[in-house]
Structures are given as C-alpha cells and as structure tokens.
Chain A
C-alpha cells in the first residue's frame, strides 16, 4: 500500500492585490525526502513555502500535513516545521548560544534540554567553538549554519529552506549542501527547499518546477531529464571546421529543435538522436570530412528547466488564445441571438 504524502497541497491559489501568484497548484512532499522547488525569480517560490509553513493562508485550496489541515492545526505545524528564510533570521547582537537558547525557549524547550541540545546541535553544524561569539561576528557561512541550527533547535520533522545558498560562494554552497544532506540522513528530516541555482538541486530526491503559477513538472532529476528527452544534445567536431552544410541540412527540419556552432563545435538538440546522428555521420562522410569528436548528452537541469518553462509558457499562450477565441465566439453567438 503506497504511503500517503507527508504534506499534500491541493488546489492552492494565492492572490496579492489582484495579482495571482499561485493558481490551482498541487504538490506533495514525501516523508524523508528532499524536495527542491525551482522557478524563476518572482515565480512565487517564497509564497509557496510561506503557505506550506502556515505563515500565509491560501485564498483557495488546502495544505494537509499528516492528514490535518495546517491552518486549523497551527501549533502542530509550529513545532514540527523548521524554517530558514533567504535572509539570516536571528539576532546579530546575541551570541550563538543566546540565539539558540532564546528560540529554544520560544518552542517551550526546558533549560535542561537546551543545555544538552545546544552543544549537540552546534557540533552538528560545526559551530561548537563559536558558541559564545556574537552572531554579528560570524562569517557568512557560519551565519547560514547558525540560521539552520536555529531552525533545528526544536527538532523539527520538516525543514523548509528558502534559497539556502543564494548568497554563498561555491565553497560555502558546497558546505551547506553537505550539511543539508547530513540533516536529511542523520536526523531523518524531510527537507523542502527552493532555489534558482539548479546545480544544488542535485541533492534533491525530487524536483518540482514552478512556472505560470503552477507546478509544471515534478520528478527526480533523471525522470525530468527523461521527460524532456527530445532535447538530447549532440556535439560533434569535424576536421574542416566548416559546419555550413550541416546547418543547412537541418535548417527547417521539425525533428531538430535547435542547432548552433559554438567554440568550433556543432551542437544540435533533437528527440531523434540516434537517427539524426546516423544522418550526420553519413553526411560528413559524403563530404569527405573527418570526424574528430562526437558526444551525445542528456539535457542538463538548466535545459530541463528551460524546456518545461518554455512548454508551460507556450501552453499558457495557447490557452490564453483559446480562451480569447471562445469568449469572442460566445459574444458573437450572443449577438446573433439578439439580432434574430
């Protein structure tokens, strides 16, 4: 029997001042997984997270957590959810220990428990030697770790992270990603994170793509890449360096979505990679050219994201046009009826 989702969002809509941010959005989060939500800036990722933790109330739809609506069960949500926003959410003028103790007390954790938990947590996030340092004196990476520690002080079941690595350099980003993996694995905490940096989503068990107010695709990294296999990438390099005849060949071929020459290589995107590759090799041979290198790649996450976003946008445009035509037809029908 399949396990019910840990969190289930159904038909979520959120409107800010007549501006629809989310519309009829559906999403589920499984127990113990790391779910990454990607979307362009302003696509509503933070709004979605705020709805998940119950900070914002959706105008339509429901968020079910462990079979209970979170907006009717706020205390349960407060104690089981940990949240770290894009900005550090702690007091700069308190020490690391004081911050953790203060937030711990707000979760009604007793002093004795905190005495035990704080050192453990600091060790876990590698801040044990910074315990008595003012938060303002920590480095950016340390601040991020303190922020995550503050989110974990009450031992939550779910950790929600809004762009956890957005302002960090590559090394710090790698540290934080490693820490998140550790939290998920060792503490068995379900993690939901948003990002616009696709590289860091490699740690996610599942990825949800948010575009046009909805989740347009969900699945593991491989599943998503598979879904957009029409974007297989063929990269080849020939001795002559003259790719004109190849470009001409696929200029108006429906099987090829895009072709270009970049860095002395010919790059082509197609869903029929095997057939096209055969054709390419044959054409090169017939021109007496020499093939130096050839590579066939699955699309990168960037390309997957781009693919789903474009598909979603096209769909939206078509829907919009259809709606317009339908409206016009309805109007014409109405006018004809009136005339008759």
Chain B
C-alpha cells in the first residue's frame, strides 16, 4: 500500500508536468495551427543550458533564471522559421521543419554537449536527502515541491488566459484569427507571443524536471514528445482542459507501469494508445478544438 501511494504521487507529479508541456503544444496548435514536434527537445535543451550555467556560476538562482530565459530565447529565435509556412497555411511543411529541428537538437545533445553523456544536476537541488516516509516507501521533497509548483503554474496560466487582456487576445485569435485581425489584433505579434509563452512554460518545466528527475539526456525530449502526443490525441487536439485531465491520467498510469512493470514497453504502449485513438476516435475523448 505504501509503495502504491508513492507511485501514485510520483505519477500525478509526472502527469502535471506532462499537462504543462501538453498546454505548450496545444497553445501553438491553437494560435499558429502548427504541431511543433521539436517543443520537448527544445525544453531539454533548456535543461542543458541551465546545467551549463549552473556549472559556470555555481548559483542555483542564476541557473534557474538562465533556464527560463533560454527556453524563451530558443523558441523565439526559431519562430521566423515557421512564420512563412504559418502565413501560407502550409502546416505539413511546418511540421516537417519542426521534425528537422527536433533531430538537429537531439544530435547536438547526443554528440556535442557533455561529450554526448547524460547530464546530472547536484543532489542539493533535488532535495533527495530529505523525504517523507510512510512505512517502507518514501517520496522525495523535491518531487512534492515540483508537484505543488506545477499546480501553481497551471493555476497562474489559466488565470492569465481567462482573466487578462493578453489572454483574451490569445483566445480571440484561436477562435477566429480573421475577425481578431479586423478588430485590430496583430496576428504576427500574437503568434510570436505564443511561441515565447510556450518557451516560458518550457523553461519553467525544464527547472521542475531538473528538480524532480535530477538528470537529463538527449533521449528525454523524445520520450516527453511521445507521451505528450499520446495525451494530445487522446484528449483531442487543441483541447487545453481535456489535455490536462488526460495528462494527469496518463502520468498516473505511467507512474504505475514504471513501478510495477519493466519499462522497455512503456513507449510502445504510449504509441499504441496514439494509434488506437487516431484510428478509432480521431477527434479524441474531449473533442478537437481546432
């Protein structure tokens, strides 16, 4: 029972992180119409940037700020590559570009950064020495803090989306970009903003992942992409709230699978879910919103 509770909390924490990344994917789909396949790999690249800054400055605060900034910068810098295709509604070409960016970033991480070896963050930022124990099982303080911060981030994001002027602009563009443009909203600026906002979310998730996982490798981005795509199609493309619910469900299931079964089939299981949903319910459980 103790182990079950431990796996359950780990799974929910994983689900919250998947939920934030899925929101990043959905945000770009809703505003720009593109599926940015490279999003998770760029998130992991931010983790690498944070690791380099931490090594150079030895300051956790500077490294955290650097991670978030690199998340925003990487996504913002790559925006011009997508804009010509977004304007011409060439979504497939934009997807192919993002696959290209994704593979380039993976190659950079697997060959050039840290000699291609996985990176490890200091134990102090993981707070792995202090844990809450119940019976034989335990859960690290770092994971609990990540869970709480993740929930807080989601709350802030939805407040931003539904209660602020900029959030209303984003929602207006997702609903009808032509009418939004007639009302004076700058579509290119909003698209650029959505990339930067996606980058900001990626940067923050990069910190949370560094705290909860304590390490990163070039394969991590692909693993996150697979799980988030499974969630995206399971919930229905563009469905923010549905995506969040499915993310927590999938994260919890993955936490259990990792706890009780050998992990080699986890990714194949995720892809089987994607395939089954695509073939039998292409609009997802909660319905497509784009």
Asked if A and B bind, the verdict is no
